[in-house]
Amino acid sequence: MSRALSFALLAGLCLSLATPTRAADPTAFMAKFSGEWLGTGQLLIGSDNGLQFHCALNGDPSRTRLTFGMTGRCWMGKLSAPVHAQLRFHAEGDRFYGQFMDGAEGDGVDIVGERAGEGFAMQLSRGMVQGRLTADAVNSDQLKVTLYYHSRAHNQDIPVVAMGFTRKGAGATLPEYLPETLTGSLPQAE
């Protein structure tokens, strides 16, 4: 169950990198994440495949420092854990750099992200373990996010967590967030 909660916490990072619309100004881009968000997600692999979890997150962008913080909590039943991420925009490369749960040096991952169309794409790394996260806007009050693990043995990205978020108080329901193809397990090394 603790492995499942770890996946849930990592999925909580997704909201810190999703955006409803593309904005040329990084401060306007980050401001769209402010406020409270509620989400539900599902594990897509392993013995806990199908297990659902929930998150309540609060986005806090800073216009003056071009940073964005996300704090909150994710839970499954009686298990609950804090979530925190911090990103900083670097204009030279038009990218965001940051950490989730104190980065790879702590209990989390390092992040390199960029805007991608109407959403956001980012690379996640912790030592030799690599992954990525995609976030797509459904509308200004709904987001769907998928977290992938990169299998070096098969040179492919495996979806491991899917989530849907809605802005608190918007009256919107959660979007359909599950990918069309569910994996159920990681491929076995040959």
pLDDT above 90: percentage of residues in the chain: 36
Query: In the CATH scheme, what architecture does the domain 2-167 have?
Result: Beta Barrel (2.40)
DSSP class per residue in 114-179:
EEETTEEEEEEEETTEEEEEEEEEEETTEEEEEEEEEETTTTEEEEEEEEEEEETTS-PPPPP-S-
From 150, 115, 161, select the one nearest 14 (Cα to Cα): 161
| Amino acid 18: pLDDT | 43
Buried b (16+ CB within 10 A) or exposed e, 139-162: eebbbbbbbbbbeeeeeebbbbbb
**Average pLDDT of the residues of the chain:** 81
- The single-letter DSSP state of residue 190 is -
Higher per-residue confidence, 18 vs 150: 150
pLDDT tens by residue, 95-120? 889 999 999 999 899 999 887 766 77
Q: Where are the domains of the chain?
A: 2-167
Give the pLDDT confidence of 43-76 residue by residue, as tens digits: 998 888 889 999 999 988 887 778 888 899 999 9
Specify the pLDDT at position 14.
Answer: 44
Give residue-wise pLDDT tens across range 73-98. 999 989 999 999 998 888 888 888 99
Report the C-alpha gap between 124 and 100 in whole angstroms: 9
